[in-house]
């Protein structure tokens, strides 16, 4: 018996179709599968999206990219953080595109590609206001001729990352302007195969507006998993009961005795804990659902287990499942109680939890 994260295939398809309809037929999607597909499971999600016709995937590092190739992913794969050292050769040999954010990195890539007599595929990352990775406008202006004259690279894409597309329209428009200014540097010197700027919030809020940029693709992550407006949640977490205690009055429950039992309480032990991504901040706060009834977590959540009050659940037994969240539940509440955002909560779910598509 293990905790299981169920993935609703119909809702995944609904979200993908919603995004396709929103951006129109002249643009395409880069599906982000970084951090084990935001904790959902990169193998399951990669194969599912490939089945649905997705041809371009984004990841955070070379290890994630190579893993997708090992799963049998045939489409384009972009690593969105810099590849350095041996990672460069691995990317080239596995037909993986690399992001570049500075002139030293792009020069290193050119030299590695030359040494193995192959061309490296690159996307230029532009810094427009995230203050994280990317070439500044001035650095590109200074080095553009040098970059264009490198013989062992193919610059196939250019992109940036929006930092406030869900919270600050004016700042986002400034990022659009900075990106547009950078695109104009290249003019007719280089025709990009891929231009991408909109993330999940950007897609929801700006894909139906004229932003003055003729982009080819959008990059979406959590939007596909259903935790943005107008999409359907795809996840349900079920956890088995592994033991049941009949507890005496005033018995302390769990580490530090933060909960005192009431008379004739029945407490079930669930096979999940903070090592699985269920924060201790949820102790004595979160309700789970067993046989349709809300059952509060009692006592401090342990590393591998937690306890819930099942006094009011008739005929409860070992092997029954508790539902932590369901397809129609809002993960925002659980995430907030955990002191996290939804991205953080989901991506923190442990690999000890089984993943299954249904």
5, HSE (Cβ side, Cα atoms, 13 Å): 24
Percentage with pLDDT > 70 across the chain: 100
321, HSE (Cβ side, Cα atoms, 13 Å): 14
- Stated as kind and residue range, the H or E segment containing 190 is none
pLDDT at 245: 96
Percentage with pLDDT > 90 across the chain: 96
Domains, the chain, in order of start with CATH, read 9-225 (3.20.20.10), 235-326 (2.40.37.10)
pLDDT at 127: 98
Tokens of 86: 């041996």
pLDDT at 60: 98
- Does residue 157 surpass a pLDDT of 80? yes
- Please report which residue ranges of 98-227 form alpha helices under DSSP H: 103-115, 137-148, 169-186, 200-206, 222-225
Among candidates 273, 218, 301, which has minimal Cα distance to 28?
A: 218
- Return d(Cα 27, Cα 146) in angstroms, integer: 31
Active site (catalytic) residues: 34, 255
pLDDT at 119: 97
Location of structure tokens 């693709």: 217
pLDDT band at 331 (very low <50, low <70, confident <90, very high): confident
Q: Mean pLDDT score of the chain, rounded to an integer?
A: 96
- Does residue 330 surpass a pLDDT of 80? no
- Does residue 329 surpass a pLDDT of 80? no
Residues 51-81 pLDDT 10s: 999 999 999 999 999 999 999 999 999 999 9
pLDDT at 228: 87
- Does residue 18 surpass a pLDDT of 90? yes
pLDDT at 271: 98
- Does residue 222 surpass a pLDDT of 90? no
């Amino acid at each position: 018996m293990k905790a299981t994260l169920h993935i609703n295939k119909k809702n995944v398809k609904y979200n993908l179709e919603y995004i396709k309809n929103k951006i129109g037929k002249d643009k395409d999607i880069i599906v982000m599968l970084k951090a084990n597909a935001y904790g959902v499971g990169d193998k399951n999600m990669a194969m599912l999206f490939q089945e649905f016709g997705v041809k371009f995937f984004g990841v955070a590092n070379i290890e994630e990219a190579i893993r997708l190739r090992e799963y049998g992913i045939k489409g384009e794969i972009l690593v969105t953080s810099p590849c350095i050292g041996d990672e460069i050769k691995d990317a080239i040999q596995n037909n993986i595109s690399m992001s570049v954010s500075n002139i030293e990195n792009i020069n290193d890539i050119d030299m590695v590609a030359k040494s193995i007599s192959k061309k490296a595929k690159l996307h230029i990352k532009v810094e427009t206001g995230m203050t994280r990775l990317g070439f500044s406008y001035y650095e590109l202006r200074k080095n553009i001729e040098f970059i264009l004259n490198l013989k062992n690279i193919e610059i196939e894409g250019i992109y940036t990352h929006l930092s406030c597309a869900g919270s600050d329209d004016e700042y986002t428009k400034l990022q659009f302007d900075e990106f547009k200014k950078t695109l104009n540097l290249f003019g007719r010197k280089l025709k990009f195969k891929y231009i991408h700027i909109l993330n999940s919030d950007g897609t929801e809020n700006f894909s139906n507006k004229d932003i003055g940029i003729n982009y080819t693709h959008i990059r979406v992550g959590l939007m596909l998993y259903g935790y943005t407006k107008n999409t359907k949640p795809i996840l349900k977490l079920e956890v088995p009961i592994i033991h049941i205690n009949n507890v005496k009055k005033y018995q302390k429950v769990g580490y530090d005795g933060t909960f005192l039992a009431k008379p004739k309480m029945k407490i079930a032990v669930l096979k999940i804990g903070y090592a699985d991504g269920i924060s201790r901040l949820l102790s004595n706060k979160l309700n789970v659902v067993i046989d349709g009834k809300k059952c509060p977590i009692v006592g401090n959540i342990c590393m591998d287990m937690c306890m819930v009050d099942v006094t009011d659940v008739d005929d409860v037994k070992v092997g029954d499942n508790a539902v932590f969240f369901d397809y129609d539940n809002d993960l925002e509440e659980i995430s907030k109680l955990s002191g996290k955002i939804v991205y953080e909560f989901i991506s923190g779910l442990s690999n000890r939890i089984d993943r299954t598509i249904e």
